[in-house]
Amino acid sequence: MSAETPAAPGRDEHYLRVFRRNFRAWRGSRPFWSGLFILLAGFPILYFPYANIQFGHLTLAMATTAGAGSLIIGVLLFVLGLSLWFQKHVRVFAGVAAILLGLVSIPVSNFGGFVIGFMLALVGGAMAVSWAPGAPPAPPVPGTGGQQGGAPESAVPGVGFTKDNQAPQGIRATDPDTTVLKPLNGLGEPNDLSGTSPVYGANGRHSAG
C-alpha cells in the first residue's frame, strides 16, 4: 500500500489503535469504573487479615479471629466487580451489596482493610447504583428535506428564500382569496387594474383631460 492511500478504518490501522477504540466503546457501555473500584476494594479486605509485617526479627501478625469472614467478603467483592463489567443489568443489586459488604468489613476485617477497602467499596457501590446507560442517538426526522433546523423549502424550484424566509421580488405570489397568481410590481404591491383607482378613472382607462 502506497503512502498516499488512506488507511481503511479497522483494517489498515494499527492493532493497538483498534484495540483502544474497541475498549473505549466497551467501557462506555457499562459501569466500568464502579466495577474497578469494587474489585480494588476486595484486595485490602482480603489481604491484611492474612498478612505478616516484619520488623527486623519481629514478626507482626495481623490475623484476626474472623479471617474466614474477611476471605468471604473479599471474594464476594471480586464477584460483584466482575458482574458489573459483564452483567450490567445487576448494577443496582451489585452496588447495594458492595456498600453493605464494605460496612460489614469494618468490624470484621481490620477496619475494612484499614479504611482503604471500605472507602473503595462505598464509592464503587454508589457509582454502580447511580449509573444509567446513555440514550441512543435520535433518528433523523423524515420530511425535513435534508435541511437543518426544519427550515422551509422554496415553493418554486431552483429559487431560495431570503434571510426573513420571504420570497424574493419578481416571483409570483399566491392570492389567498382567489388562488390566482398575481405578479408583483417593483414596489412589492399587486397591480391595481380593477378600475377603482382614482388615477385610472371609473372605466379603468386614463382620462383624456
Which of 130, 150, 184 corresponds to the end of one domain?
A: 130
pLDDT, tens only, 144-162: 544 555 555 544 454 555 5
The pLDDT value given to residue 124: 94
Nearest-angstrom CA–CA distance, 152 and 159: 12
Do residue 184 and residue 116 come from a single domain? no
Which of 111, 130, 149 corresponds to the end of one domain?
A: 130
On whether residue 145 sits in a domain, the answer given is no
Decide which of 73 and 58 is more confident.
Answer: 73
Do residue 46 and residue 96 come from a single domain? yes
The pLDDT value given to residue 122: 94
pLDDT, tens only, 23-69: 898 888 899 999 999 999 999 988 887 777 777 777 766 666 667 88
On whether residue 63 sits in a domain, the answer given is yes
Task: State the total domains in the chain.
Answer: 2
Residue 6 has pLDDT above 90, yes or no: no
Q: What is the mean pLDDT of the chain?
A: 73
Nearest-angstrom CA–CA distance, 203 and 153: 42
Amino acid symbol at 123: V
Phi-psi region for residue 2, left (φ > 0), alpha (ψ -120 to 50) or beta? beta
On whether residue 162 sits in a domain, the answer given is no
pLDDT, tens only, 101-128: 999 988 888 888 889 999 999 999 999 9
Q: Note down the domain range covering 189.
A: 167-204
Do residue 125 and residue 187 come from a single domain? no
Nearest-angstrom CA–CA distance, 50 and 74: 12
Do residue 98 and residue 185 come from a single domain? no
Q: Is residue 128 within 8 Å of residue 90, measured between CB atoms?
A: no
Beta-bridge partner residues of 161: none
Which of 70, 105, 130 corresponds to the end of one domain?
A: 130
On whether residue 81 sits in a domain, the answer given is yes
On whether residue 144 sits in a domain, the answer given is no
Q: Is residue 131 within 8 Å of residue 31, measured between CB atoms?
A: yes
Mean pLDDT for 119-145 is 81
Nearest-angstrom CA–CA distance, 173 and 167: 8
Residues 6+ apart with CB under 8 A from 197: none
Do residue 40 and residue 123 come from a single domain? yes
Amino acid symbol at 19: F
On whether residue 35 sits in a domain, the answer given is yes
Do residue 180 and residue 87 come from a single domain? no
Do residue 176 and residue 122 come from a single domain? no
Do residue 122 and residue 195 come from a single domain? no
On whether residue 68 sits in a domain, the answer given is yes
Do residue 193 and residue 121 come from a single domain? no
On whether residue 193 sits in a domain, the answer given is yes
Do residue 192 and residue 100 come from a single domain? no
Do residue 182 and residue 80 come from a single domain? no
Do residue 91 and residue 178 come from a single domain? no
